[in-house]
Chains A and B, each alone.
Chain A
Amino acid sequence: MAVTIDDVRHIAALARLGLTDERAASLVNEMNSILGHMDVLSKTDTSGVQEAIGVGAGGLPVRADGGPPIPLTRSLDAFAPALRDGFLIVPRLSTHETPEAS
């Protein structure tokens, strides 16, 4: 399952990482080298073995979709890159872009 330059480009897009051509080429070699060490797993018999779900003695707990309030000592405008009327401002999606918006 050798990783190709097309794979790297595809994965980078999924991961929202901009890569230079040089870095992409380097990652092909790095990923193939690292993943080569993982091949040993395919030779291990795991028939009938459950996947690990939670590593504590109590397994993976499920909590209610909520929780105690977390008091914030600083408001959003103290750390948000761009804010207007309490809303985070981001550039337009590319499908809606105009030269001015980008």
Chain B
Amino acid sequence: MSAPRESVPLHTGAAAALRAATASGSTSTADTVTRALARAREVKAGRDGLNIFVSLDGEYLDEHAETATEQLADTEPGLLLGVPVAIKDNIATLHHPTTCGSRILADYVSPYAATVVGKLCDAGAVPFGKTNMDEFAMGSSTENSAYGPTRNPVAPDRVPGGSSGGSAAAVAAGIVPVALGSETGGSVRQPASFCGVVGVKPTYGRVSRFGLVAFASSLDHVGVFGARVDDAARGLRVIAGHDPLDSTSANVAVGEYHLAHARPVKGMVVGRPREYFPDSLDPAVRARCDAAFEHLRELGMQVRDVSLPHTALAIPVYYIVAPAEASSNLARFDGARYGLRVAGAGLTGMYEATRSQGFGAEVTRRIMLGTYVLSAGYYDAYYRKAQRVRTLIAADFSRVFHAGVDVLFTPTTPTPAFKLGAISDPYEMYLSDIFTVTANLAGIPAMSQPIGRVGGLPIGGQLMAAHFEEMKLFSVAYALERALGAGASS
């Protein structure tokens, strides 16, 4: 693999190089952890700086690294041996709290770890702190965290995107080469685009969600950030696979995604959906996408214009379905069993006091919306209607893929990262996910990779494929990354 791009000054090194160096003994996990912690201090990743982490325990990491090194002699090197991996704060870990960026779960430490965290450890990775996020993953800027906003390492006056902004920023700042995030409507791909890193959302069911705090169960996915395509491929390879603890997890064979770089792309068909290139699209974003299409043609791929006619309905559908499911999932946070409890008049008073003081403005808004669209008299008009239109959106994708398109390529976001505080209207914020929510509604795999800069800020290109076709995504992503070279970050 070539050296990391300048835009991602990876001080710990790429995942593949770290694994090789750790396995050969030329570096140790403890050294890597020390370097990652030093980098976090150097970029001011703490609360008063970029505010990337909700919790980061250096002493614990040193101990964990020692243990990992002791175990090394007896085991086959895992795919992420010696690699520090940051973890979004809605994924359960045993040592660090799992706050979901919310006051209602402040200091809550889970009594069990998520399946994906166990898989990381089994592969030799070091869980490296918990990253900041929009509260309960509801947001597109990481400004909705009870622990303050995260700043974009590329341009600290701008947002890193969201809701997995802390994980994207941890990779973009060169602290870790791999990080876990979660997606409900684009919360990995959108921040990946804003921060100039790679972000992948697998097929629904590809990765276990046991231990991922639920937001909207038919839309939630665990995703992976990588400094480069190879880092993301290794991360997804490690965490993918069936899990009996998650009834929605699919028992489908997992590909060797990190070997997809050797697969030919010549002859593959890439679709260009016209609805993702409206006349109103920023000309500079369009130009970056056109350049990427040109590279794909030069690689021997056929570019085909296609249509996904129900795309414009995706945001209204999403903002009915997701709040509806959230209103149900978040009912469990009531002060009775765990988390914050605020005394009130009787049981109902305690519920209301706990939830009103524990949840922030956006979470409250979405619970209200979700409860409304599920309530008597409105269910048919909103929720049932949205679920029918969702079927039409998914059918758009099926039709295109069945017609021979291997992957679709679009911009990940309509614009680069915006300034902190620049968007106050909720619906305007929702529109920043306009190109990403469709993949969640359809359950198909999708990823974002850097394709250049617009006004000095990173912008991502999005690849989407049919269910369980992650190998196709990675094949094209590796090839495009090689073709773009330094152009991906300039």
Chain A interface residues toward B at CB < 8 A: 1, 3, 7-8, 10-12, 14-19, 23, 27, 30-31, 33-35, 37-38, 40-42, 44, 46, 49-58, 60-63, 67-68, 70-75, 78-82, 88, 90-94, 97, 101-102
Contact = CB atoms under 8 A, between A and B. Distances in A.
Given A46-B391, A81-B337, 8 more contacts: A18-B355, A44-B392, A46-B392, A51-B384, A55-B394, A56-B248, A57-B203, A60-B248
B114 to A, nearest CB: 11
Interface stretch (B26-34, B57-65, B105-113): B105-113
Interface string B343-376: 1111111111101100100001101110110010
Nearest to A46: B388
B426 A70 contact: no
B247 A31 contact: no
A14 B375 contact: yes
Q: Which 3 A-B pairs have the closest CB atoms?
A: A55-B443, A18-B352, A51-B387
A14 B348 CA distance: 11
A81 B205 contact: no
Is the contact region of chain A dominated by helix, strand, or loop, or is it mixed? loop
B244 interface: yes
A64 B258 CA distance: 35
B277 interface: no
B427 A50 contact: no
Q: Determine which residue in A18, A55, A60, A93 has the highest number of CB atoms from chain B within 10 A of its CB, and name it.
A: A55
Given A41-B386, A49-B388, A27 B375 contact: no
Interface residues of B, number: 76
Interface string B392-404: 1010000000000
Is the contact region of chain B dominated by helix, strand, or loop, or is it mixed? helix
Interface of B: 94, 108-109, 111-112, 203-205, 218-219, 244-245, 247-248, 250, 310, 312-313, 315-317, 319-320, 327, 331, 334-341, 343-353, 355-356, 359, 364-365, 367-369, 371-372, 375, 378, 381-382, 384-392, 394, 425-427, 441-443, 467-468
Contacts of B368: 8, 11-12, 15, 17, 27, 31
